[in-house]
Chain A
């Protein structure tokens, strides 16, 4: 009873706090923490579901109505949760280290960006953008195109051993980035570094703001992605992936078709990224190659590693922590530092205003990703929420 009261109380209190202190990063983190607590606390299942549903479906949108920034953060988190879940299938379940995952995200994003904006007129002469309603069809188009790209990439490279596979996928990711940057001639497909804009957004019912609409859309897609993940995991498909990860040779001898299974993992992982790519481009209205670099691929990898390879709650938590770190904590640190500088604060007799202007915490994402990866590998390779099998696997090897 007290547990339940604690869970409810935490959520309610932090939600109120967010409403009262709309600019405090710390308070918003508390709110997210209260959600995590509700997920983990030993409370009856109905209560857990009810609390999380209330928080995600009611509280969050209401907070968002008052403070668009938090809604934006929550939506971004959702997008990366889906990406992390996709990469989770490839890296965590099948054990294939894909370092170029962002390429599938890019492919999905550009597919809607090109046809959902006037840009396609440059290629076809006229008739674009497609009516905004086409967005929903393109969710499927993006999925299929990305899955196709996954299969195309996978076919030649899946026979390679693990570290070579990693480097080749990295190369593929870079190829996609360079292509995005340079395919503006002879035919202007991607418009190069200038990017594509304006990208149409889907029509929204009931006078809801776009921010809220996208939040719910992302939430819905994440729900589907989680469902698909679990169903695959809990089937002969998931068992085959595990077996491949454990001992590829034995798996094949037992009747598991290696190439087909790995391709399926690649295609599934890629398709999630593709769908989210379409959503991303519609949400941002503007995309350019800068959003699809190696940094993003490693960022998603860091999320999966942090949360726990192969673990669905792990991917969710990992994505949340890393996105919040980047979007809120680092940025907040930058802002805070600036405020201190402007206020002329001194530390140990040195005025902070004298700090080099180039020093901006918000830009140090790479350092964060790097530390996460190294520290997790050394101290807790199974992640924060390990799949029970992974925990055994990695405990056994030490």
Chain B
């Protein structure tokens, strides 16, 4: 049996007296998986554990068979797992191009000596990086000038730039934290088209945290629902949507009682 691309088992995280995550399992091999749940369910905490920002108290995470726990975020990025953030964390005073170039840091094989001596290898590498960065910006559909400073870009462009930056290291798995936050339905739809194209063209696997249900239903191959740190449902979008436990988590017990029928 081949190991899955990404496997998290029994992930538990406590902050003092609060249990943010309790025995969460999450496995992904390909395609687009979404994680949803009410605020405070632990979704971003889970991402932070996956990417090495937090250490899990119990459980294990593995990527391509390699255990990730204990690795630093930059090491995990180098292995092929990249992410975006819930609140945009671009390098605000660097240009769009420079933001993407920073994202490539893990893949640059130059030594300090190459940089100082300006060996031909340096110039070749830099030229290749620049070309690749421009291509990435085009692929994500950045409408602004690549040399524009990140903080001056319109909101939609900033979100796209974040994705381009996350793609810069050539990941096999991309974690996007609320990528359509603050967007109109039209913009969100466009972004979803982009994500589907990325998965198709680059063979990426994608994990999304999302609150926009329409997006989730349209684009996901599978949906996982977290509530109060526990996984309460998982499956194809339609199933999860009708799951009474999910409804209860979002809307309260009264809502569930109003729909006495079981999931179709």
Are A and B in contact, CB atoms below 8 Å, in the complex?
yes
Residues of chain A whose beta carbon lies under 8 Å from any beta carbon of chain B:
228, 231-232, 235-237, 239-240, 242-243, 246-247, 249-258, 264, 389-390, 392-393, 396
Q: Say yes or no: A254-B92 contact (C-beta < 8 A), given A231-B116, A235-B126.
A: no
Given A254-B102, A256-B105; A237-B89 close (CB under 8 Å): no
Given A236-B102, A249-B89, 4 extra CB contacts under 8 A: A232-B116, A236-B104, A253-B73, A396-B151
Instruction: Check B251 for interface membership: any CB of A closer than 8 A.
Output: no
Residues of B within 8 A of A (CB): 51, 53, 72-75, 77-78, 82-83, 85, 89-94, 98, 101-108, 110, 112, 115-116, 118, 122, 126, 129, 149, 151, 165-166, 168-169
B106 CB to closest chain A CB, in angstroms? 3
In the complex, which of the residues A228, A247, A255 contacts B91, with contact meaning CB atoms closer than 8 Å?
A247
Q: Are A237 and B77 in contact, with the CB atoms below 8 A?
A: no
Question: Would B94 and A246 count as touching, CB distance under 8 A?
Answer: yes
User: Whole-angstrom distance between the alpha carbons of A250 and B116 in the complex?
Assistant: 26
Give chain B nearest CB distance to A65 CB in angstroms: 35
Within the complex, the shortest CB–CB distance from B158 to chain A, in Å, comes to 13
**Complex interface: chain B residues within 8 A of A250 (CB):** 85, 89-91
Q: Judging by beta carbons under 8 Å apart, are B98 and A255 in contact?
A: no
Enumerate chain A residues within 8 angstroms of B166, measured Cβ to Cβ: 254
Smallest CB–CB gap between A380 and chain B, Å? 17
Structural contact, B74 and A257, CB atoms closer than 8 A: yes
Chain B contacts for A251, CB-based, 8 A: 91, 102
Chain A residue at minimal CB-CB distance from B77 = A255
B106 / chain A contacts, CB cutoff of 8 Å: 254-256
Q: Which B residues touch A236, using CB under 8 A?
A: 101-102, 104-105, 108, 110, 115, 129
Instruction: Evaluate contact between A231 and B149: CB separation under 8 angstroms.
Output: no
**Contact residue among A235, A254, A257, A392 (Cβ-Cβ distance under 8 Å from B115):** A235
Contact (Cβ within 8 A) A231 B115 = yes
* B102 surroundings in chain A (CB, below 8 A): 236, 239-240, 242-243, 251, 254, 256
Contacts of A228 in B (CB 8 A): 116
Contacts of A235 in B (CB 8 A): 110, 115, 122, 126
Residues of A within 8 A of B75 (CB): 257
Could you tell me the distance between the alpha carbons of A380 and B168 in the complex, rounded to whole angstroms?
36
Which residues of A have CB within 8 Å of B126? 235
Once the chains are docked, how many angstroms separate the CA of A253 from the CA of B122?
25
- With A235-B122, A392-B151 in contact, do A242 and B101 touch (Cβ < 8 Å)? no
Smallest Cβ-Cβ distance to B92: which chain A residue:
A246
20 example contacts (A-B, Cβ-Cβ < 8 A) are as follows A231-B116, A236-B102, A237-B112, A242-B98, A246-B91, A246-B92, A249-B53, A250-B89, A253-B73, A253-B74, A253-B82, A254-B102, A254-B168, A255-B82, A255-B103, A255-B169, A256-B102, A257-B75, A392-B151, A396-B92
On whether the beta carbons of A252 and B115 are closer than 8 Å, the reply is no
- For A393, the chain B residues whose CB sits under 8 A away are 92-93
Chain B CB count within 10 A is highest, among A242, A252, A255, for A255
Docked Cα-Cα span, A250 to B177, in Å, equals 13
